[in-house]
Chain A
Amino acid sequence: MRHPSVFFVVIALLLPQLSLADASDGKVQGLEIATEADKRDSGWQFQSSDMEMILRNRAGKESRRKISSRQLEVEGDGDKTLSLFHEPRDVRGTAMLTFSHGLEPDDQWLYLPAIKRVKRISSRNRSGPFMGSEFAFEDLSSQELDKYDYRYLRDEPCGVYQCYVIERIPLYDNSGYTRQIVWLDEAEFRSIKIEYYDRKDELLKTLDFSDYQEYPGGYWRADTMEMTNHQTGKSTTLLWFNYDFETPLDSGDFNKNALKRLL
């Protein structure tokens, strides 16, 4: 893709009026960058992976969770996700099925193996913590382009990369954030860092992505994600394993029956 500042100049020359508006808030450029990042992470159709979550409290005490998940890309709608919990062992076999719908509420079901019950649950709780971690449900949910308003802020170095820095404002209901600042590397449009600002617009958390690997089809995945809560001193590390873009999955692998027969 063209360098956004070049793009900006082209737009500015062609559409002087729009450029005036844009010069004030960088919205066109912001959306352009987010669209390119979204495009580069589209077309994978299905994927599966395993994840280990390490929760650390302020004193450094750790607890762990293990989850495997599979995802199905849905044309024109949000992804379908099925997550199976392995640890802690008291929730082993519990599974969650989510059909995400961008700005609309997600459809979500929870399977409780001890009583073999599938419960439809409210997806209202986007800002609540996922399994007691520093990740909120909304941080781990399917990232659709139309969930945010974007604004280009600046270019700057970010670690070993050169990054675009954009601000995004959640458009979906019940977000815990007023805004997020995202650093995307200019070469591959991978998320390098995200800052989350709480409802009082104070810096709440920082998410750092590292150990990126490239998978067939040119899809990049970070093996490590570190979420630090600046207000509580707690942190959560996600370690990702066994990314698989090859084993085919279809919609039959994402229904209420599939929830009950995971191993």
Chain B
Amino acid sequence: MIALRRRCWCAWLIAGILGTLTVSSASSGDVDRQFELSLSGQFFPNIKSSSADVRQQFLTGLEAEFTSDFDSDHLIGTLLPYGRIASSGGEMNHADIRELNLLYAADDWEAIAGISRVFWGVTESGHLVDIINQTDRLEGFDGEDKLGQPMVRASRLLDQDVLDLYVLPGFRERAFLPSDQPLALPFPIEEDKALYGARNGQQHVDLAARFSGYRGLVDYGLAWFSGTSRDPEFIVQPDGTFRPRYPLINQWGLDVQLTLDSWLWKLEAIHRAFETEALASDFSASIGGAEYTIYELADSLFDLGLLAEWHFDSRDDRTTVPLQNDLFIGMRASFNDTQSSEFLAGVFSDLDDSSGSFRLEASRRVLDDARITLEAQTFLDVDSDNAISYLQDSDFITLSLRLFF
């Protein structure tokens, strides 16, 4: 059944917020509720497996969101649980508390305590600077699905800038796809035996800070993170299995966007220093590029965006780093119709060998309060020693219907 893959690091807070939401709901009835039910079919046409369960599977997910302002102008409480059941069962069934927090907002500062999600960054084809939340690999291949992270954040709000300070107690391990899944890493992972750079393991308290804002046409953010890396390394064991290892790191991140008429110029860059033993040495990485939009193409309602982003990583090893010197070229189309139809298609090409992959995302509103989404990715001519060679036969198509109520 559904395994709740998270530790309740501060049961009092959860109990407190649940209690308050319940009381508030009972007393004033001002808890705002919304739900999203998603029904998905996932197909792997080229997979070399005899198991029908792996070649196609069906996923049913439910996300609920409860919010309340407790009849106050300053306080907001949020509870956002998510659960999913998969036809292939086992570890593919999972659940997470993505948010459970209280936010206090004053005129020139705000603070949040609890489980929350945070996004940093500007680029489209990858996210380097974004580091607060652990990636939920069970949910999506693109890495945009995140696990809730326990945190206390205090923010000082200036006229055009914000200074955010984070204390992050309680580490969330990466959720890996089970080894029989098509997009899973190509080796057996001993998830229960993770190694940590920090002596106190998952109890290590990470710290982060970000200064962000805008001046005129430029939006910027400078971030610092000190704590347990969200990205695991894999340490091979004598029995041939692999243990994830999460070293302690110090990371600086910069993101900048210049918004110039129809052009968006974007840059994300990080420098990561390892504070404890690691397979990799300190490195820098960046994603830089632009998006140009042709509005009302040929006098129609149709907007066409052209994207190019270059991924660079100083480790310069195409066999271990998927995006070490890769170019993303893409196209975004907005139909500006009543159904808000849109699609994004693009190709990642490794500039050091011939490997590449093509990705497509398309969606359209149906039945007033539902949305149908198509996501597909195919791996093209992947070099046998490229870091993504294990994905060669994992082309997939996911068709989803999401109902909102």
Contact = CB atoms under 8 A, between A and B. Distances in A.
Interface of A: 55, 57, 63-64, 87-92, 105, 107, 115-122, 124-125, 127-129, 131-132, 174, 176, 250-252, 255-257, 261, 263
21 contacts: A57-B338, A64-B368, A88-B368, A90-B369, A105-B261, A116-B117, A117-B119, A117-B121, A119-B122, A120-B214, A122-B293, A125-B303, A127-B295, A128-B296, A132-B336, A255-B162, A256-B162, A261-B76, A261-B103, A261-B105, A261-B110
For the complex of A and B, 6 pairs with smallest distance between CB atoms: A89-B404, A132-B338, A90-B371, A89-B369, A117-B119, A116-B119
B110 A63 contact: no
A161 B198 CA distance: 77
B159 A88 contact: no
B303 A128 contact: yes
A88 B365 contact: yes
A87 to B, nearest CB: 8
Contact of B293 (A124, A250, A255): A124
A5 B301 CA distance: 42
Contacts of A250: 107
A263 B69 contact: yes
Given A261-B103, A263-B67, A127 B157 contact: no
A174 to B, nearest CB: 8
Contacts of A128: 295-296, 301, 303, 336
Contacts of A107: 214
B262 interface: yes
B324 interface: no
B243 interface: no
A68 to B, nearest CB: 13
Contacts of A125: 293, 295-296, 303
Contacts of B76: 261, 263
B333 to A, nearest CB: 13
Interface residues of B, number: 46
Given A64-B368, A88-B369, A261-B103, 14 more contacts: A88-B340, A88-B365, A89-B405, A115-B119, A116-B117, A122-B262, A122-B293, A124-B293, A125-B296, A129-B301, A174-B295, A176-B296, A252-B157, A257-B157
A263 B264 CA distance: 30
Nearest to A91: B340
A261 B69 CA distance: 10
Interface of B: 32, 34, 67, 69, 76, 103, 105, 107-108, 110, 117-119, 121-122, 144, 155, 157, 159, 162, 214, 219, 257, 259, 261-264, 293, 295-296, 301, 303, 336-340, 365, 368-371, 402, 404-405
B340 A252 contact: no
A127 B302 CA distance: 12
A176 B264 CA distance: 22
B34 to A, nearest CB: 6
Nearest to B144: A115
Contact of B338 (A55, A105, A121): A55
B40 to A, nearest CB: 15
Residue from A116, A119, A125 whose CB has the most chain B CB atoms within 10 Å: A116
Nearest to B110: A257
A129 B335 CA distance: 10
Contacts of B32: 263
A90 B404 contact: yes
A7 to B, nearest CB: 40
B42 to A, nearest CB: 19
Nearest to A105: B261
Contacts of A122: 259, 261-264, 293
Contacts of B262: 122, 124
B339 A132 contact: yes
A57 to B, nearest CB: 7
A127 B300 CA distance: 11
Contacts of B103: 261
A87 B365 CA distance: 12
Contact of B404 (A92, A124, A127): A92
Nearest to A256: B162
Contacts of B117: 116
Contacts of A124: 261-262, 293, 295
A114 B293 CA distance: 23
B340 A132 contact: yes
Nearest to A198: B299
Nearest to A131: B340
Contacts of B69: 263
Contacts of A257: 105, 110, 155, 157, 162
Contacts of A252: 107-108, 157
A57 B110 CA distance: 44
Contacts of A256: 162
Contacts of A261: 76, 103, 105, 110
A118 B213 CA distance: 12
Contacts of A127: 295-296
Nearest to B335: A132
B259 A120 contact: yes
A109 B331 CA distance: 21
A89 B371 CA distance: 9
Q: Which of A92, A174, A256 has the most CB of B within 10 A?
A: A256
A1 B404 CA distance: 52
A257 B163 CA distance: 11
B371 A255 contact: no
Contacts of A90: 340, 365, 369-371, 402, 404
A92 B365 contact: no
